[in-house]
Amino acid sequence: MSHNVLLVDCWILDEIETDYSPMWDLVSVLSQRQPQLSEEAIYTQLSQRLNWLFEQNYFSAYEGLIFNGDEVRINIRFSFELVKKQAKDWTNANHTEKQLRIYITDLGRKYYLENCRPFHFTDNSNEKNNL
């Protein structure tokens, strides 16, 4: 696995480590950390890495309206189109459409703790050394 792929996986796991995370949060994280990439490239990268992480059982996917007990665990494939649609879902403030969110599993947390360092309190200039 290349350093860049591991870094992207760590960014994703870091974001979902403490709460159910919507797709727009993940798009925002990857966009801020890779400003040289286009929006389409971010969606492609995110869909590829989410599929790999999901296949490894490093997170679970949930569907719900307000995520206050109404969420249901689902099995899903993360297509480019799905990631793009969900990335815009932050505009659905009245919760009339089901949202997709993901949350780290115990296996994902183990992988994260063994392979990644927390990114919430780091700056971008140091990230090459954060693995």
Within its chain, how far is the Cα of 87 from the centroid?
11
Residue 35: pLDDT above 90?
Answer: yes
Q: Averaged over 57-64, what is the pLDDT?
A: 96
Report which residue type is found at 93: A
In three-state secondary structure terms, 59 is strand
What is the model's pLDDT at position 130? Answer: 45
Least confident of 28-37, 89-98, 103-112: 89-98
Query: Across the strands, what pairs with 74?
Result: 61
Q: Averaged over 44-62, what is the pLDDT?
A: 97
Q: Averaged over 53-75, what is the pLDDT?
A: 93
- Please report, for the chain, the start and end positions of each structural domain, with discontinuous segments joined by +: 3-117
Q: Averaged over 8-34, what is the pLDDT?
A: 92
Within its chain, how far is the Cα of 128 from the centroid?
20
- Considering the chain, what is the average pLDDT of its residues? 86
Residue 104: pLDDT above 60?
Answer: yes
Radius of gyration of the chain, Cα coordinates, nearest whole angstrom: 14
Whole-angstrom Cα distance, residue 48 to residue 42? 10
Q: Was domain 3-117 assigned CATH 1.10.10.10?
A: yes
Q: Averaged over 50-75, what is the pLDDT?
A: 94
Whole-angstrom Cα distance, residue 104 to residue 106? 7
Whole-angstrom Cα distance, residue 14 to residue 11? 5
Residue 99: pLDDT above 70?
Answer: yes
Q: Which helix (H) or strand (E) holds 99?
A: strand 99-104
Q: Among 18, 20, 25, 29, which Cα is nearest to 122's?
A: 29
Least confident of 83-92, 103-112, 117-126: 117-126
